[in-house]
Amino acid sequence: MSKFCSKCGKENGDNARFCVACGNPLEGNPTQGNEATPEAPKAPSKLMMEAKRSYIGHYGFFMTILYGILCLAIVGIFILLFTILTNKTYVYHIYNDRIVSEGGFFNKTKHTRYFSNVLSVSKEQGFRGQIFNFGNVYVNLTGKEDLGFYEIKNPDAVVNFFEKMIHRSSSLNQVVID
């Protein structure tokens, strides 16, 4: 006949002295041991070791990587939004005698540069700039350092504007010389 554990109710072999499931000592009673039997008081247990779950074990490793990627994505979105907002607020005002550049998101800046004569103008536009119609325009001014307009929309219009100024200033010089 089988012996049943009085603590957990697990069926054990005839010759078993301890329960295979919980380790409880078995009595010689082969009957169903679901009813409680009086037990002798036990000595308090002494903690011998404590095992903690690893952050890397099981699914934790993949969750750590997922959280890292998520954090990087959130930081990337904030950087992208900051860059977009900063570039959206930057504007160039081009007058016939000066250029005023102003913008910034947190730190507002405003620079005014006066000029009298435009010597040359050039445009730089990469592959993305050709697709999305933006680029850099460089203006060579008389007696001043070159002026650069970086990543502006519709750089052809800015180049045409400064080329008209070159022709106008060269016709004025011809009148003065004659």
Q: How confident is the model at residue 36 (pLDDT cuts 50, 70, 90)?
A: low
Inform me whether the pLDDT recorded for 46 exceeds 80.
no
How far is 113 from 101, CA to CA, in rounded Å? 9
Residue 165 has a pLDDT of 81
Q: How confident is the model at residue 55 (pLDDT cuts 50, 70, 90)?
A: low
Query: Do 152 and 137 form a contact (C-beta atoms < 8 A)?
Result: yes
How far is 39 from 26, CA to CA, in rounded Å? 11
Does the predicted model carry a pTM greater than 0.75? no
Token pair, residue 2, equals 């089988």
How far is 29 from 3, CA to CA, in rounded Å? 7
Query: Do 136 and 150 form a contact (C-beta atoms < 8 A)?
Result: yes
Which whole number is the average pLDDT over 14-35? 72
**pLDDT tens digit sequence for 124-174:** 999 988 999 999 999 888 766 778 888 888 999 999 988 888 876 655 444
Query: Do 84 and 100 form a contact (C-beta atoms < 8 A)?
Result: no
Residue-range domain boundaries for the chain: 1-36, 56-88, 90-177
Q: How confident is the model at residue 31 (pLDDT cuts 50, 70, 90)?
A: very low
Burial class of 5 by CB neighbour count within 10 A (0 to 12, 13 to 18, 19+): buried
Which whole number is the average pLDDT over 15-21? 86
Mean per-residue pLDDT over the chain, rounded: 79
CATH architecture under which domain 90-177 falls: Roll (2.30)
Q: In 3-state terms, what secondary structure has residue 48? A: coil
